[in-house]
Amino acid sequence: MEIIGENTLTEKKAMPWYVAFIKEMTGFFSLLLWGAAVLCFIGYALDTSDFSNLYLGIVLAVVVFVTG
């Protein structure tokens, strides 16, 4: 036993919460939703008389944040 060592599993290092959160925010589908939110904000900036792009951009950003 001294030559090979004990038959035990090594402890896995825990991932910090902020690293896991960033990984969730940068997943493929999350990046698509972030891109759509940015496009909605750009659309609102081009035409500020219509608030639908602003509302949609906010909703998309909140959805990505909550699901993360």
50: amino acid identity, one letter: D
The pLDDT score that the predictor gives to residue 36 is 96
Q: For the chain, how many helices (H) and strands (E)?
A: 3, 0
Q: What is the mean pLDDT of residues 32-56?
A: 95
Burial class (CB in 10 A: 0-12, 13-18, 19+), 40: buried
Q: How confident is the model at residue 1 (pLDDT cuts 50, 70, 90)?
A: low
The pLDDT score that the predictor gives to residue 63 is 94
Residues 6-36: tens digit of each pLDDT: 888 888 888 898 998 898 888 999 999 999 9
* CB environment 6-26: b (16+ within 10 A), e (fewer): eeeeeeeeeeeeeeeeeeeee
The pLDDT score that the predictor gives to residue 10 is 82
